[in-house]
């Protein structure tokens, strides 16, 4: 069964029934103001930081799952009947329910008793506000008199405090209402200089700002007493729970359409102009009024919406492909790229599975997110790299996470995830290959944000690399620290106390447990760094790095190979993890994928063996499992990985993030069929027909699909914010389709399925548009290139020296 369909022409997913297995969500805003919106208008908004500047309140894990959001109620003022055109919260039996999730906007609507109503929710570019553009048509044969009610619940800014500190919070809520605009100004009287506002283009008949008055005692959003009564109480919130609700009355002739615009926004006043008059406690509204006036004009709203569409068309046009596979096309051209923007913006902070409170921007995660984003807005990628590098520590280690608002490293989680530093090298390399902007390496960047500690970014990369060399274990492999890529393989934790964090509890001194994964990562990052050094004219440095890489490769061969696959790690007792000697967890995906993609074992048969073992022991119809056999019990010496029931998350779930490593590894071995087959198994669009099993959105990747040891094998979880987005995008575009950025130009090196006769692509790269046509002449992956008709040697198209802006590249595979 499906719950909707792809409208590729409009770049939308159209949901046709509201009761999707899980809320199917979208993101509004892509710069500073963000919203999450479900297919029934649930969700919330925030400014920059989902924890510290939460604008509207949301209760996670609610009953039903998704409740609270941007709700509109329509009330027939003759019959008194009321309903929500977005289905929730009243859940009426609607006709023509549709939710169109598009690029940065969502339109939800339906028809009920002859009244058709659709709301377009979006955030205009460069603004800190969201628009709800509601269009109502009276399809009855007679006149209709309706009341429109809006509703949102304000959050008292810090979402963590908001959800816990009630003894204070029930007393601090404050609002002002002027000309129908509801201003939420809690804590403005003291240290904040920002507020929220909620307004509408219609004549405000009545309003409410106190939740209890609006919904009524012992009622919820599904039956607010004010809506039922057909009149709000003009309540002013003092403490308790400030909300925003308007009532607008509209009369319709038969067939008439009217529009009404709601604007919810965030605004900051200069610190010395908070009040008006200055010696009062009244909010200074002069700076915000022009913004409000602007967006209550429907012509301006229409233009803002067209601008948003144009912006996205521009971003997506940087890479467009036409392959024989519709799921590949759809994901590459639309949804995977779109998801990469969301993960770049929000890292793992705010989705329907990340509460926006716990995690800021992850060092490891954000660097990897760059792989899928850097081509879209390189200037933002540059800024992100410099922010990340500023949370680097003098030791070469890094804070595991930082808060987007303050850009400071997060001390609760701290550092010592020993893979972290290397991702910075890979992030920077991806940026250099895309842009050719070598100046970034000379940017002065502090350590731990300490003024005076600035050094060129290039120096940071050196320290990242050296960090591992300073931390080698008994076998000469990198010590793992708190964890490597797998946050849940906690080999120094030994936690036997409930509630302890597996990531931050450390009961062992960490001098024994080693990670073969970090060794593979070191090899990859080291090669990139050597390349960079070479191009900076530092040949000696490059040579040193390559020598260290060669040594590490030899160590992997000697101590990181189990005979048929790569080992995963050594525990604190020096025992193997991910070996045929183990009873459980004999083989892990991470080292197979990553070592081979880093180039380890390509020339001595290890890589081929490793990939065959993946295919034999880990690959399933729903994707490649993280490890097998699953851990059936808790192992003190392994940590969180064994805390999960078998088949879920890191304990033998299909962790979609690392599947593309195997795809790339297969591509490196020339196996286009296998690479694309693995790609298709987790491709959400390809899984659309099994929506009832998959359950998550069919247009974006989820972090995990339950593995075959789980009772719910095939069920996806934790959609949207996952490294899966960037890695899949990178694997399919750069390795399978083979349109690969390099320091010297665009490489064209496809490893596609044998059955494909070819494909076409357009790629804008460093200001030049490449029209790429790939044709199969034989079964292999040997590439012959013609650039504007002229054959060239090798597979890298050099940048045109003569100022040409369009280049035709013909690639023949034989
Ligand atoms: C989560 C984390 C990521 C980690 C992965 C595996 O997706 O965000 O940092 O690598 O889990 O544990
Ligand atoms: C939890 C999650 C894991 C995630 C980690 C981040 O352990 O299970 O997937 O990467 O938190 O700290």
The pLDDT tens digits for 200-234 are: 999 999 999 999 999 999 999 999 999 999 999 99
Q: What is the pLDDT of residues 230-242, one digit of tens each?
A: 999 999 999 999 9
The confidence score (pLDDT) of residue 443 equals: 98
Q: Compute the distance from residue 417 Cα to the ligand 2 centre, in Å.
A: 12
CB 192 within 8 Å of CB 271: no
The confidence score (pLDDT) of residue 809 equals: 98
Average pLDDT for the chain:
97
The confidence score (pLDDT) of residue 411 equals: 87
Strands 796-798 and 806-813: unpaired
- Averaged over 28-38, what is the pLDDT? 97
Where do the DSSP E strands lie in 598-670? 619-620, 623-624, 627-628, 654-655
CB 73 within 8 Å of CB 90: yes
The confidence score (pLDDT) of residue 358 equals: 80
Q: 89: cis peptide before it, omega within 30°? A: yes
What H or E segment, with its residue span, contains residue 307? helix 298-316
Residue 66 CB burial class (10 angstroms; 0-12, 13-18, ≥19): buried
The confidence score (pLDDT) of residue 403 equals: 84
Atom 7 of ligand 1: nearest residue by CA position: 722
Q: What is the pLDDT of residues 799-813, one digit of tens each?
A: 988 889 999 999 999
pLDDT bucket at 405, cuts 50 / 70 / 90: confident
| String of DSSP letters for 507-575 | -S-SSS-EEHHHHHHHHHHHHHHHHHHHHTT-HHHHHHHHHHHHHHHHHHHHHSB-SSSB--EE-TTS-
Is the pLDDT at 370 greater than 90? The verdict is yes
Is the pLDDT at 359 greater than 80? The verdict is no
Cα distances (Å, whole numbers) of residue 114 to 144, 230, 624, 645: 10, 20, 49, 50
What H or E segment, with its residue span, contains residue 275? none
The confidence score (pLDDT) of residue 146 equals: 98
Atom 11 of ligand 2: nearest residue by CA position: 487
At residue 18, φ and ψ (nearest 5 deg) are -75, -25
Cα distances (Å, whole numbers) of residue 99 to 119, 659, 696, 751: 9, 31, 15, 37
CB 249 within 8 Å of CB 147: yes
Q: What is the pLDDT of residues 476-525, one digit of tens each?
A: 999 999 999 999 999 999 999 999 999 999 999 999 999 999 999 999 99
CB 637 within 8 Å of CB 494: yes
Q: What is the pLDDT of residues 670-701, one digit of tens each?
A: 999 999 999 999 999 999 999 999 999 999 99
For 636, other C-beta atoms within 10 Å of its C-beta total: 12
Q: What is the pLDDT of residues 585-627, one digit of tens each?
A: 999 999 999 999 999 999 999 999 999 999 999 999 999 999 9
Percent of the chain with pLDDT over 90: 97
Nearest to 721 by CA among 336, 334, 343, 337: 343
At residue 333, φ and ψ (nearest 5 deg) are -75, -25
Q: Compute the distance from residue 486 Cα to the ligand 1 centre, in Å.
A: 6
List the Cα angle 619/625/631 in 5-degree steps. Answer: 130
Task: Show the 3-state SS of 330-354.
Answer: HHHHHHHHHHHHHHHHHCCCECCCC
CB 678 within 8 Å of CB 624: yes
Q: What is the pLDDT of residues 172-181, one digit of tens each?
A: 999 999 999 9
The helix/strand/coil state of 378 is: helix
Strand partners, 116: 111, 137
- Which residues, 6 or more positions from 442, have their beta carbon under 8 angstroms from its beta carbon? 456, 457, 458
Asked if residue 488 has its Cβ within 6 Å of ligand 2, the reply is: yes
Up-side HSE of residue 536: CA atoms within 13 Å toward CB? 20
Least confidently predicted of 82-91, 102-111, 357-366: 357-366
The helix/strand/coil state of 78 is: coil
pLDDT bucket at 404, cuts 50 / 70 / 90: confident
Catalytic residues: 487
- The ligand that comes nearest to the alpha carbon of residue 702 is 1
The confidence score (pLDDT) of residue 550 equals: 98
Q: Compute the distance from residue 355 Cα to the ligand 2 centre, in Å.
A: 13
Task: Show the 3-state SS of 201-270.
Answer: CCCEEEEEEEHHHHHCCCCCCCCCHHHHHCCCCCCCCECCCEEEEEEEEEEECCCCEEEEEEEEEEEECC
pLDDT bucket at 412, cuts 50 / 70 / 90: confident
Q: What are the pocket residues of ligand 1 if the criterion is a CB atom closer than 6 Å to any ligand atom?
A: 348, 362, 364-365, 485-488, 650, 657, 703, 722-723
Up-side HSE of residue 287: CA atoms within 13 Å toward CB? 18
252: left (phi over 0), alpha (psi -120 to 50) or beta: beta
The confidence score (pLDDT) of residue 230 equals: 98
- Averaged over 712-738, what is the pLDDT? 98
The confidence score (pLDDT) of residue 354 equals: 95
Ligand 2 atom at shortest distance from the alpha carbon of 400: 12
Q: 277: cis peptide before it, omega within 30°? A: yes
Ligand 1 atom at shortest distance from the alpha carbon of 487: 12
Is the pLDDT at 577 greater than 80? The verdict is yes
- Averaged over 427-447, what is the pLDDT? 98
Residue 758 CB burial class (10 angstroms; 0-12, 13-18, ≥19): middle
Asked if residue 640 has its Cβ within 6 Å of ligand 2, the reply is: yes
Q: What is the pLDDT of residues 372-386, one digit of tens each?
A: 999 999 999 999 999
Atom 4 of ligand 2: nearest residue by CA position: 487
């Amino acid at each position: 069964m499906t719950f909707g369909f792809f409208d590729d022409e409009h770049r939308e997913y159209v949901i046709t029934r509201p009761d999707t297995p899980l809320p199917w969500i979208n993101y509004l805003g892509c710069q500073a103001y963000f919203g999450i919106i479900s297919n029934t208008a649930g969700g919330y908004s925030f400014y920059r930081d989902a924890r510290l500047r939460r604008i509207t309140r949301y209760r996670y894990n609610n009953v039903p799952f998704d409740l609270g959001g941007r709700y509109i109620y329509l009330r027939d003022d003759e019959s008194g009947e009321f309903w929500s055109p977005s289905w929730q919260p009243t859940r009426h039996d609607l006709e023509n329910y549709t939710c169109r999730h598009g690029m940065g906007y969502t339109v939800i609507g339906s028809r009920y008793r002859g009244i058709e109503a659709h709301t377009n929710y979006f955030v205009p570019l460069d603004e800190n506000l969201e628009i709800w553009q509601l269009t109502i048509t009276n399809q009855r044969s007679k006149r209709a008199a309706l009341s429109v009610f809006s509703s949102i619940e304000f959050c008292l800014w810090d979402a963590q405090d908001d959800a816990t500190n009630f003894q204070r919070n029930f007393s601090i809520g404050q609002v002002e209402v002027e000309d129908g605009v509801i201003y939420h100004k809690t804590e403005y009287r003291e240290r904040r200089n920002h507020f929220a506002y909620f307004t509408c283009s219609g004549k405000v008949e009545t309003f409410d700002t106190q939740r209890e008055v609006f919904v009524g005692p012992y009622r919820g959003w599904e039956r607010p007493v004010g809506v039922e009564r057909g009149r709000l109480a003009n309540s002013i919130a003092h403490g308790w729970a400030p909300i925003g609700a308007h009532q607008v009355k509209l009369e319709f002739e038969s067939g008439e359409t009217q529009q009404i615009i709601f604007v919810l926004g965030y605004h900051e006043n200069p610190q010395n102009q908070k009040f008006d008059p200055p010696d009062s406690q009244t909010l200074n509204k002069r700076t915000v009024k022009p913004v409000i006036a602007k967006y209550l004009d429907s012509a301006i709203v229409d233009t803002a919406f067209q601008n948003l569409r144009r912006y996205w068309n521009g971003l997506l046009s940087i890479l467009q492909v036409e392959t024989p596979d519709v799921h590949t096309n759809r994901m590459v051209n639309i949804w995977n790229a779109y998801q990469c923007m969301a993960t770049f913006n929000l890292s793992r902070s705010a989705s329907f599975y990340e509460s926006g409170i716990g995690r800021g921007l992850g060092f490891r995660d954000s660097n990897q997110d760059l792989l899928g984003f850097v081509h879209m807005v390189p200037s933002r990628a540059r800024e992100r790299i410099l922010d990340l590098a500023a949370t680097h520590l003098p030791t070469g280690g890094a804070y595991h996470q930082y808060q987007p608002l303050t850009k400071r490293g997060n001390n609760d989680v701290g550092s010592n995830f020993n893979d972290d530093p290397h991702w910075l090298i890979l992030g920077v390399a991806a940026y250099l290959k895309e842009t050719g902007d070598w100046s970034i390496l000379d940017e002065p960047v502090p350590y731990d944000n300490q003024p005076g500690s600035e050094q060129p970014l290039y120096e940071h990369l050196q320290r990242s690399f050296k960090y591992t060399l300073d931390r080698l274990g008994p076998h000469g492999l990198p010590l793992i620290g708190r964890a490597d890529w797998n946050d849940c393989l906690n080999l120094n934790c030994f936690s036997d106390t409930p509630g302890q964090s597996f990531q931050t509890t450390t009961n062992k001194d960490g001098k024994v447990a080693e990670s073969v994964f970090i060794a593979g990562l070191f090899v990859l990052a080291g090669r990139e760094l050597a390349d960079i050094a070479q191009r900076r004219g530092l040949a000696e440095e490059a040579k040193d790095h390559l020598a260290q890489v060669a040594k590490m490769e030899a160590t992997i061969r000697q101590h990181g190979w189990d005979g048929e696959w790569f080992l995963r790690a050594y525990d604190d007792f020096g025992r193997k993890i991910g070996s045929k000697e183990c009873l459980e967890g004999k083989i892990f995906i991470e080292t197979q994928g990553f070592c081979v993609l880093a180039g380890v074992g390509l020339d001595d048969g290890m890589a081929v063996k490793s990939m065959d073992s993946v295919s034999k022991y880990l690959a399933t119809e729903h994707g490649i499992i993280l490890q097998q056999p699953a851990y059936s019990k808790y192992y003190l010496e392994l940590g969180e990985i064994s805390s999960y029931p078998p088949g879920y998350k890191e304990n033998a779930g299909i962790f979609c993030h690392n599947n593309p490593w195997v795809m790339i590894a297969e591509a490196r071995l020339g196996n286009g069929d296998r690479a694309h087959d693995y790609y298709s198994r987790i491709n959400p669009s390809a899984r659309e027909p099994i929506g009832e099993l998959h359950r998550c959105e069919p247009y974006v990747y989820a972090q995990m699909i339950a593995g075959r040891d789980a009772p719910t094998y095939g069920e996806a979880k934790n959609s949207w914010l996952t490294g899966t987005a960037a890695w899949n995008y990178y694997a399919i575009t750069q390795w399978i389709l083979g349109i690969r950025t390099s320091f010297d130009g665009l490489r064209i090196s496809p490893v596609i399925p044998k059955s494909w006769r070819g494909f076409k692509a357009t790629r804008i790269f460093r200001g030049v548009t490449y029209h790429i046509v790939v044709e199969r002449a034989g079964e292999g992956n040997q590439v012959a290139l013609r650039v504007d008709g002229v054959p060239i040697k090798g597979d890298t198209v050099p940048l045109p020296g003569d100022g040409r802006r369009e280049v035709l590249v013909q690639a023949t595979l034989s």
